[in-house]
Amino acid sequence: MRRQRNVKIVATLGPASETYDTIRALHEAGADVFRLNMSHGSHDDIRAKHHVIREVERDLGSPIAILADLQGPKLRVGTFADGPHALQDGAAFRFDLDPTEGDINRVCLPHPEIFQALEPGATLLVNDGKIRLMVEACGDDFADCAVIAGGEISNRKGVNVPDVVLPLAALSEKDRADLEFVCALGVDWLALSFVQRAEDVAEARALAKGRAAILAKIEKPAAVEHFNDILAVSDGIMVARGDLGVELPVQKVPPIQKRLIRQCRAAAKPVIVATQMLESMIESPMPTRAEVSDVAAAIYEGTDAIMLSAESAAGHYPVEAVRTMDNVAIEVEADPNYPTILAASRRADGHSVADAIVAAAREIAETTDIKAICCFTQSGTTALLTARERPGVPIFAMTSLLGTARRLCLSWGCNCVMTGELERFRGAVVSAVRAARDGGFAAPTDQIVVIAGVPFNMPGTTNILRIAPCDERLIYTTDPG
């Protein structure tokens, strides 16, 4: 399905968007990737949504990526005997392992790993950071704290520990079961929560066994600190600004977002900007001006994808939210300043033959009357390298592997087209020309750039670039291959 913009849209599915008609409408409105949130719904619910997405994909003949977002360990306080309590600024409060119901002075925090990692001076955040406490004394089974910013504390509120790396695995037992379920089901991407170090990603990759690409969610200060190592072992990144904005001062999040996007682009790995992008559209058919500016800023920064969470999963206007993102993206990318901004932030980590070829393809396309860049790819690497260049013409990712086409739905500018297995370069050129013409991107009098690796069907062999006429008769008279 032809889009009028390059940035991709991820839409989370939920109670507001689980029927065939709604999911199809979301895709037609602009959703390229559907997110299944494993924090909500049973395996039967997830299976049903997966089935509907694949039905829509089959009926529209358009590859669709499915991203399963694992819940990760959840840190929560216990329960209170007499309902919620209001903690006052300056008051003393204790967390401990005693399972007795809590009161105004204490509550159980049933996570011994937290106490093992705490030190005096560390910060504890409760209820999405609304309550802030500082540890004054601690041991293996308690933490005595002073309330820095008070508020109402109640049963099973979430706890964040921003100052320390917790000795917790990113994958809980639930996550392990969910991972195996969705990999067997056939998802394309796995989003890994609670990532603190590269080893967390390596563990998920070992369990996935190549059945899905691994996307690391950056939502903890430790992940920001170790980002280079995490990026090196991940297939993609999600800048999860919700938890990141709880555990870090909110003013630090925008520059972190910008920096992480640039690093992902340099590494040719897709990056999603997520959380609260159009949150007012949960209840309203119109976004706020600030939300539109936030979405636009992420697009100007060069992100591969922007994401809707509750807006499409539980909101009253899921299709309108996707359409709003689509319209904002089209408008931003039509701005004459947009390619200038992308060019100014262009840099590459690699210096291989493939790097040189995709850079040359982009430069040729931008300095001559080329209508599209068509790249043949098995693993997806050639398409990712081409997308990193952010060329000013459409990218066609041609592959014989449906899994590769689906995964590339997350990558900037990639129009994924299925093709049969090829043995000769001339056949590849003809397939590329037909895709460009059928997609309405080129006319018979136009030219395109074709990138491929010879011999075919061998990952990592990108070694040829051809400027091809879009008149097939000229291909047969000018191409010796």
Q: Which residues contact 249 (CB under 8 A, 6 or more apart)?
A: none
Question: Tokens 């090829």 correspond to what residue?
Answer: 422
Query: What is residue 248's DSSP assignment?
Result: S
Please report, for residues 37, 91, 314, 469, the alpha-carbon distance to residue 208 in angstroms, rounded to integers and kept in the order given: 17, 47, 29, 42
Alpha-carbon torsion angle 212, 69, 10, 198, nearest 10: -70
Tokens of 172: 């809980």
Whether the link from the prior residue into 455 is cis, omega within 30° of 0, is yes
> How does DSSP assign 393-409, residue by residue?
S-EEEEES-HHHHHHGG
SS3 228: helix
Tokens of 366: 């931008």
Rounded CA separation 84/392 (Å)? 56
Active site residue 269: no
Catalytic residue of the set 217, 220, 258, 265: 217
Chain length of the chain: 481
Strand partners for 34: 11, 66
Tokens of 64: 């669709």
Rounded CA separation 456/377 (Å)? 9
Please report, for residues 88, 205, 307, the alpha-carbon distance to residue 188 in angstroms, rounded to integers and kept in the order given: 47, 13, 16
Question: Tokens 């093992």 correspond to what residue?
Answer: 116
Active site residue 35: yes
Contact 278, 312 (CB under 8 A): no
Rounded CA separation 297/320 (Å)? 20
Catalytic residue of the set 12, 123, 275, 404: 275
Backbone angles phi, psi at 218, to 5 degrees: -95, 100
SS3 420: coil
Tokens of 265: 């682009």
Catalytic residue of the set 3, 54, 76, 94: 76
Rounded CA separation 231/147 (Å)? 36
Give the burial class of 283: count Cβ atoms within 10 A of its Cβ; 0-12 exposed, 13-18 middle, 19 or more buried: exposed
Question: Tokens 């590329």 correspond to what residue?
Answer: 432
Type of residue numbered 11: A
Catalytic residue of the set 5, 35, 49, 106: 35
Q: Which residues are designated catalytic?
A: 35, 76, 217, 275
